[in-house]
Amino acid sequence: MGAVIIKTIAVYVARGITLLLAVSVLSFALASASPIDPETRYRLSHPGVSDENVERMREYWGIDEPPVKRYFAWLGGVLRGEWGTSTAYRQPVLDVVGVRFKTSLALMMTAWTFSGLLGFSVGCVMGVFRGRWQDRVIKRVCLIMCSIPTFWIGLVFLAVFAAALGWFPFGLAVPPGVPPEAVTLGQRIHHIILPAMTLGFLSFANLALHTREKLIDAYGSDWAIFARARGESDVAILFQHGIRNALIPAVTMQLGSFAELFGGSVFAESIFSYPGLGAAVSAAGTGATDIPLFLGIVIFTACFIFAGNLIANVLTLIIDPRTRRSTGI
């Protein structure tokens, strides 16, 4: 069994590397196609700059080189750990990404856990009450929630919980004016709740509906029918049998949702001025476009998503022996 798993992981990683390469080509090509080239940006931010200086900078950026050569120069840098310098932060891209990822990870993991627990529990409730009015009402609510854009939920939370009720701060990751070393865990949690709730809403309804389906399947199984015949209640069946069947698909689904999670964080972070990777993507794309940072974040998120999918697949492999026979993923 171990050998099969290792082989599968190896195949998956090899495939992942080709995917990452393709993503790097795609994003580099798109970024290079941007009409706002480095020279325009330079002239924008340095009015009155001399032509000699512009010429010197052109050489420095290598914009007269062919794109393929520039791509390989950039890729080589990425592999060596030199991801370029962010034009907005004037710091190495890796440093900026590192600091912001740490902040984002806190948010994403909180939201991920929150939506996972909530979505699964709600799914279980629907499963137990399947077909009855409780199920129908919750299901309808979940379907509606699937149609609500993340950014609008964020706005509503902002209006209700921050502006009207004043329960939570209006944004940022830490209270203003406090040095980082003095910020307490409580303060951080206080700041993370609204953006995390916003982000969590993205996937919770989906997960609940998914879990409901799995539970309904489970209740239809021979085992469940037998148990009911023995006089066991739906709730008892849920704990003995249902949860086990529904949990794995739920965890797998959550692990596979990293891409959506990150996409959602762009909105949640922008609305709550939460200084993470998502807000950085949006900022890097607006104004004087920060291409090095943008590319860095794309590559970084692709790795992150790949890792999530890898874990999901390996987990499925370990838990569900049926998939172990075929190596195709």
Partner 1 sequence: MKKLNRRTAAAIIAAAILAVILAIYIGGALLPAAAIDADFSQKGLPPSPGHIFGTDFLGRDMFVRTIKGLSLSLTVGAVASAISAVIALAVGLTAALGRGIVDHAVNWFIDVFMSVPHTVLIILISVALSRGAAGMLIGVAVTHWVSLARIIRGEVLQIRSAQYIAAARGFGKSRLWIARRHVLPHLLPQFFVGLILLFPHAIMHESGLTFLGFGLPPERPAIGIILAESMRYISSGAIWLAIFPGVSLVILVLLIDKLGSLVRYLLEPREAQM
Partner 2 sequence: MKKSSLKTIIAALLAAALLCALAAACGGDAASNTDPSATPTPTDSVGKKDEVIIGFPGIPSGFDPLVTAGHGSYVPLLFSTLVALDADVNVIPDLAESYEVSEDALTYTFKLRSDARFTDGEPVKVSDVLFSLQTIMETASEIDLSVIDSVAAGAEGDTVIITLKHPQSTFILTMSGIGIAPEHLYGAGFAQSPVGSGPYKLAQYDVDQQMILEANEGYYGKAPGIRRAVFINMSGEDQQLIAARSGQVDITLTSATIAAVNTIDGYNLLVEKTVDNMGIVMPTIPAGSGTSSLGNPMGNDVTCDVNLRKAIAYAIDRERLCDEALSGYAAPAYSENDGMPWWNPESVIEMDVDYAISLLEAAGWTDTDGDGIRDKDGIKASVPVYYFAGDSARQAVAMSAANQVKENIGVELLVEGMGEGDIMAIMVAQPMILAWGSANPITSYYLYHSSSVGRDDWYNPESFASAAVDGYLEAALGAKTIEDAIPFWQKAQWDGETGTSMRGECPYIFLVNKDHLYFRRDGLNTGDQMIHAHGASWTLVANLKDWIWE
Residues that bind partner 1 (CB under 8 A): 15, 18-20, 22-23, 26-27, 30-31, 33-36, 143-144, 147-152, 155-156, 158-159, 163-164, 170, 259-260, 262-264, 266-267, 270-271, 281-282, 285-286, 289, 294, 297-298, 301-302, 305-306
From the list partner 2, partner 1, none, pick the one residue 282 interacts with, judged by a Cβ distance below 5 to 8 Å according to partner type. Answer: partner 1
Neighbours of 199 (CB within 10 A): 34
Residue 66 within binding range of partner 2, rule CB under 8 A? no
- 4 lies in the site for partner 2, by CB under 8 A: no
Q: Number of helices (H) and strands (E), helices first, in the chain?
A: 14, 0
Find the largest Cα–Cα distance for the chain: 89
CB 293 within 8 A of CB 280: yes
Q: With CB cut-offs between 5 and 8 Å by kind, which of partner 1, partner 2, none does residue 173 bind?
A: partner 2
Residues 8, 329: contact at Cβ < 8 Å? yes
| C-alpha to C-alpha distance for 9 and 2, rounded to whole angstroms | 11
Tell me the one-letter amino acid at 183: V
**Cα gap 263→271, rounded to integer Å:** 13
Cα–Cα nearest to 254, from 128, 150, 117 = 117
Is 53 among the residues that bind partner 2 (CB under 8 A)?
A: yes
Of the candidate spans 6-14, 63-71, 217-225, 316-324, the one that interacts with partner 2 by CB under 8 A turns out to be 316-324
CA 241 – CA 259 distance, rounded (Å): 31
Q: How far is the CB of 261 from partner 1 (least distance, A)?
A: 8
> Quick check: 295 and 28 in contact, CB under 8 A?
yes
Interface stretch with partner 2, choices 21-29, 58-66, 177-185, 218-226 (CB under 8 A):
177-185
Residues near partner 2 (CB under 8 A): 35-36, 39-41, 43-44, 46-51, 53, 88-91, 100, 102-103, 105-106, 109-110, 112-113, 116, 162-163, 166, 170-185, 188-189, 192, 244, 247-248, 251, 273, 275, 286-289, 315, 318-319, 321
